[in-house]
Amino acid sequence: MPTNSAPLGTPTKVTQGSQTRGGIGESTLRPDGTLKVTGEFAYSSDMWHEDMLWGQILRSPVAHAEIVSIDTGEALAQPGVYAVMTYDDLPTEVKNYGLEIQDTPVLAHGKVRHHGEPVAIVAADHPETARRAAAKIKVEYRELPVITDEASATAPGAVLVHENRDDHHIGHVPHPNIVHRQPIVRGNADEAAKRADVIVKGEYYFGMQDQAFLGPESGLAVPEEDGGVHLYIATQWLHSDLRQIAPVLGLPEDKVRMTLSGVGGAFGGREDLSMQIHACLLALRTGKPVKIVYNRFESFFGHVHRHPARLYYEHGATREGKLTHVKCRIVLDGGAYASASPAVVGNASSLGIGPYVVDDVDIEAIALYTNNPPCGAMRGFGAVQACFAYEAQMDKVAKQLGMDPVEFRKLNAMEQGTIMPTGQPVDSPAPVAELLRRVSAMPLPPERQWESSEGADVRQLPGGLSNTTHGEGVVRGIGYAVGIKNVGFSEGFDDYSTARVRMEVVGGEPVAVVHTAMAEVGQGGVTVHAQIARTELGVAQVTMHPANTQVGSAGSTSASRQTYVTGGAVKNSCELVREQVLDLGRRKFGTYHPAWATAELLLEGGKVVTDGGEVLADLVDVLGDEAVEIEAEWRHRATVPFDLHTGQGNGHVQYSFAAHRAVVEVDTELGLVKVIELACAQDVGKALNPLSVVGQIQGGTTQGLGIAVMEEIIVDPKTAKVRNPSFTDYLIPTILDTPTIPVDVLELADDHAPYGLRGVGEAPTLSSTPAVLAAIRNATGLELNRTPVRPEHLTGNA
Amino acid sequence: MRVNFTVNGRPQEADDVWEGESLLYVLRERLGLPGSKNACEQGECGSCTVRLDGVPVCSCLVAAGQVEGREVVTVEGLAEYARQRACGTDACGMSHVTRDTSKNWQPKPPSDSHTGEGTELSPIQQAFIDAGAVQCGFCTPGLLVAADEMLEHNPNPTDADIREALSGNLCRCTGYEKIMDAVRLAAARQGEAV
């Protein structure tokens, strides 16, 4: 058993930044803003090269089948076609890839395991030529039975999605069609249940959500003279891609050069490879640059989705409203390949009871291998599904007890010092009750806003411009929810980042250049990293170097971690540069003023100053024609894996909390929902860029709204085929579907983190969905145990 | 086929266009104007919105041949288009450009190519930056063209007007709140300027 003693943190003292404009805490504007509003920002799909070819992927039309034969002859004979490649054309013995488990074939080998699996690739001189050639590849399939859920996956004699597994989870899973299983047991839930005056059981279903980033998977691979390749790509983690790409190409990593192109959103959907290897293979085969751009239809098949989940919960509470115990079982559908499933299981289980004090828990989470679309990372990562279920349970228990749902939550809210189900103490502020207090204290939007002297403004009613109601049958409801998300990579992962910082005089001014491999995907990492450099180095001019693999890994733009971890790396490298600059100053000017040796020295406003504010030298003079450059790795405090049997272990770096209040109006006759307002309160530790923080919270909130009432990938349970791969049939919130989102930002420093900051991006995606569901339940009185809620669930016609 | 049309005030000629190509493809891949975006290519997301003879359209749904002889404004020409509108039609002069000069046309005045600093922006573009309405930015070009067009005929929109006018433009990052702020800001600044 790991001990419960808190690891010692290293509180960060801010000594810099009071003078220099554009440092941390200010809402500085994005450095890429102008390029993005003028259309000049070069996204991965905008790449262009003289003589480039277009790549096209042929995908499986069925979910599970043996490949009997592939005939590429007719496709190859098409004018304008330069190459057609199948599994047999792969250049090395490494033919699979994967984030954790290398179970994903670059091109299908003898078998396809899900609808849309890549089977062959084509390069041609026009995208339409490539598409038509791909359609002429003849593939004969012999269909196999499909595994689609837990029952079919673990039935006696079930077909194995992957035979001969040799990954590191196979030893502890109860069935080869289960990727990973994580139990978490603490106290004695059965014994504690005897103290309960109320026991509430529930079964819930969370639908499959798509990241639906707007910039489709795309990139350009350019063959190089040394036999290598240069890939311009939109991804979340350049070095993770590189580690997976190079072995398949048979190239050393230094011959696969990667440069981050403009990334049109990510939300987890770019953690796995998509077209990277395919473009490189075709470029190396043809000797020409190859561009691949998915259309939206293909994008739905080209990346993993959020795991759909079945969740079984039992909560107990005393008459006084104290939780006695929680038992839960979370079954995540991982689809055909592992992707991030093991880590999603770790999150779903360890965060499975929410931000509450419960000493006696019995938790189990598993991820299945099925023939459904592969599922992996999406914003919130396992914690989202659990939050939907445990918050529904909290409302049910409160109702049974006759208590106000917010008061019941506050009564059980965790705080600093609470021990998690994993045995890990929460050793930084956990203002769960305070966030609930704040969000419920916000003024409510007025009732019946759509009413006016000229009649109803249908635009503000459920159904909107479809003009389905003028207010008849419309009922208002209010719901609350709160959630807990981990920040950073957990369970013992070496979650470091690297930053190279250079300081020199350019054009008579001291300039800092910050070079990291961080993937800017829209979140604003480039904005805050420049702010950190201004604060730490006291210069106005900071240049953000394009991200590439010429610098060490920054880790993934995932898990709400880049402001924390790459921000921490930038801060650390800046501090090292600052020390060298001060040493340089001491050598040059130390004899002129005793303060060089005795005072605490800062860099502020382009000058070396004492902590008393006395100016000692201009940075221009200190640096002269020298440049100071440091590249260094930085790590947050280490974590450990969860015990495979008890789930105990200090597995998480930091927690992040948000609470929502949803106000909805429901047309009960037609089952149409209008979300009127979705208020959020979140603790961010320290808002490095308040404007960006609020933008993250509003964006995450809206994705939670999407899975509450609109978004779901529909997979046919008989064939495991995707039925709605388009923005016509998979609906994400428009500006008409999205309400006002007032945000209350709390800043309680986490002394273990740089500047006390807390990762922001994911927490608001958790509690948004259950708050909307709670509001709809409040309006309709219906139980609603699945999300998204569709009209038929509200009218009783489901 | 060959297609002749006007883009951002400059006559353009696209050769060897396959009949199935969209206006979006011709702009992005043949004319070097990738500002109009390819998020769905099925008319659902609005990221490819351009003005076609003044009317906002999804350029992915317009066959290239349909634009023969017509005028297109893309995000790359939005600042200039707004400038012309602000100073009256002929006073600023734009139309006397030949095809030869257009070949060397750049959509922006000289500026810092790394950050775009120094670029002249339209009020709606500046408002998007100032209000924090840009995150990944992939929806931004289409939203700018649509919002600019709305403000052209409705300079004092209510919130409901803004939402209605922009309902054809998907954004996945922002939750639309900062986009609302940006349009309100542009309208307010426009009002102050009059």
Structurally, at CATH architecture level, domain A421-490+652-795 sits in 2-Layer Sandwich (3.30)
Q: In 3-state terms, what secondary structure has residue A59?
A: strand
Q: How far is Cα A708 from Cα A674, in angstroms, rounded to an integer?
A: 12
Nearest CA in chain B to A54: B29
Tell which residue, B103, B44, B136, B100, has the closest CA to residue A730: B44
Q: Name the residue with tokens 């659902």.
A: B44
**B-chain residues near A741 (CB < 8 A):** 175, 177
Q: Do domains A44-144+216-263+270-302 and A150-209+305-376 have the same CATH topology?
A: no
Q: Are strands A218-223 and A290-293 parallel, antiparallel or unpaired?
A: antiparallel
CB A104 within 8 A of CB A98: yes
Q: Name the residue with tokens 């259950």.
A: A770
Spell out the residues 6+ positions from residue A51 whose beta carbon is closer than 8 angstroms to its own: A288, A289
In one letter, which amino acid is A735? I
Nearest CA in chain B to A522: B136
Average pLDDT, chain A: 96
Q: How far is A517 from chain B (nearest CA, A)?
A: 17
Q: How far is B91 from chain A (nearest CA, A)?
A: 24
- Out of B45, B175, B177, name the one closest to residue A727 (CB): B45
Average pLDDT, chain B: 89
Q: Is B123-193 assigned to CATH 3.20.20.70?
A: no
Q: In 3-state terms, what secondary structure has residue A12?
A: coil
The model's confidence at residue A309, banded by pLDDT at 50, 70 and 90, is very high
Nearest CA in chain A to B145: A37
pLDDT of res. B109: 45
The model's confidence at residue A413, banded by pLDDT at 50, 70 and 90, is very high
Structurally, at CATH architecture level, domain A44-144+216-263+270-302 sits in Alpha-Beta Complex (3.90)
**A-chain residues near B177 (CB < 8 A):** 694-695, 698, 738, 740-741
Give the domain ranges of chain A.
33-41+496-635, 44-144+216-263+270-302, 150-209+305-376, 421-490+652-795
**B-chain residues near A33 (CB < 8 A):** 128-129, 134
Taking chain A, what is the end-to-end CA distance rounded to the nearest angstrom?
A: 48
CB A395 within 8 A of CB A405: yes
CB A663 within 8 A of CB A741: no
pLDDT at B104 over 80: no
∠ Cα A141 A144 A146 (to 5°): 125
Tell which residue, A239, A266, A238, has the closest CA to residue A523: A266
Strands (E), A302-398: 305-306, 309-317, 323-333, 361-368, 375-376
pLDDT of res. A320: 98
Contact A36 B140 (CB under 8 A): yes
pLDDT digits (tens, 9 = 90+) for A219-266: 999 999 999 999 999 999 999 999 999 999 999 999 999 999 999 999
pLDDT digits (tens, 9 = 90+) for A496-509: 999 999 999 999 99
- Out of B125, B136, B177, name the one closest to residue A698 (CB): B177
The model's confidence at residue A11, banded by pLDDT at 50, 70 and 90, is very low
Q: How far is Cα B175 from Cα A439, in angstroms, rounded to an integer?
A: 18
Structure tokens at A366: 């598993």
pLDDT at A4 over 70: no
pLDDT of res. A796: 83
Q: How far is A545 from chain B (nearest CA, A)?
A: 10
pLDDT of res. A17: 53
pLDDT at A726 over 60: yes
Contact B162 A735 (CB under 8 A): yes
pLDDT digits (tens, 9 = 90+) for A36-54: 999 999 999 999 999 999 9
Q: How far is B69 from chain A (nearest CA, A)?
A: 24
Nearest CA in chain B to A36: B137
Q: How far is Cα A450 from Cα A472, in angstroms, rounded to an integer?
A: 12
Q: Which of the residue ranges A642-646, A782-786, B75-79, B88-92 would you say has the lowest mean pLDDT? A: B88-92
Contact B177 A741 (CB under 8 A): yes
Count of CA atoms in the C-beta half-sphere (13 A) of B87 = 11
Strands (E), A167-217: 178-186, 198-206
Nearest CA in chain A to B127: A37
Q: In 3-state terms, what secondary structure has residue A237?
A: strand
DSSP code for B191: H
Contact A699 B175 (CB under 8 A): yes
H or E stretch including B128? helix B123-131
The CATH number assigned to the domain with range B3-95 reads 3.10.20.30
Contact B138 A265 (CB under 8 A): yes
Structure tokens at A441: 């204290």
Structure tokens at A274: 């998509």
Peptide bond before A510: cis, by omega within 30 degrees of 0?
no
pLDDT of res. A797: 75
Stretch(es) of chain B classified as CATH 3.10.20.30:
3-95
Instruction: Determine contact: A232 vs chain B, CB below 8 A.
Output: no
Beta bridge partners of A419: A425
Q: For testing the chain B interface, which of A45, A47, A129, A214 should be mutated: the one with the most B CBs within 10 Å?
A: A214
CA dihedral A14, A19, A24, A29 (to 10 degrees): -170
pLDDT of res. A534: 96
Quick one: average pLDDT of A84-94?
A: 98
Nearest CA in chain A to B19: A128
Contact A736 B107 (CB under 8 A): no
**ipTM, 2 decimals?**
0.96
| Topology of domain A150-209+305-376, CATH | Aldehyde Oxidoreductase; domain 4 (3.30.365)
Instruction: Determine contact: B30 vs chain A, CB below 8 A.
Output: no
Structure tokens at A422: 């994993």
**B-chain residues near A234 (CB < 8 A):** none
Show which of residues 41-80 on chain B sit within 8 Å of chain A, judged by CB atoms: 41-42, 44-45, 47, 74-76, 78-79
pLDDT of res. A7: 34
Show which of residues 174-193 on chain B sit within 8 Å of chain A, judged by CB atoms: 174-180
Q: How far is Cα A560 from Cα B126, in angstroms, rounded to an integer?
A: 29
Q: Which of the residue ranges A345-359, A410-424, B87-101 would you say has the lowest mean pLDDT? A: B87-101
Spell out the residues 6+ positions from residue A324 whose beta carbon is closer than 8 angstroms to its own: A192, A193, A195, A196, A316, A317, A318, A358, A360
Q: How far is A460 from chain B (nearest CA, A)?
A: 8
- Mutual orientation of helices A383-401 and A341-350 as an angle, nearest 10°? 20
Which of B108 and B170 is assigned the larger pLDDT?
B170
Q: Which of the residue ranges A271-280, A492-501, B116-125, B131-140 would you say has the lowest mean pLDDT? A: B116-125
How many residues in total does chain A contain? Answer: 798
Q: How far is Cα A426 from Cα A430, in angstroms, rounded to an integer?
A: 7
Q: How far is B194 from chain A (nearest CA, A)?
A: 24
Q: Name the residue with tokens 């509108």.
A: B85
Show which of residues 422-461 on chain A sit within 8 Å of chain B, judged by CB atoms: 457, 459-460
- Out of B38, B45, B166, name the one closest to residue A45 (CB): B38
Beta-carbon pairs below 8 A across chains A and B: 202
**A-chain residues near B180 (CB < 8 A):** 735
The CATH number assigned to the domain with range A33-41+496-635 reads 3.30.365.10
Q: How far is Cα A411 from Cα A248, in angstroms, rounded to an integer?
A: 55
Q: Are strands A118-124 and A53-59 parallel, antiparallel or unpaired?
A: antiparallel
Nearest CA in chain A to B79: A38
Percent over 70 (pLDDT), chain A: 97
CA dihedral A483, A485, A491, A492 (to 10 degrees): -150
Q: How far is Cα A104 from Cα A503, in angstroms, rounded to an integer?
A: 43
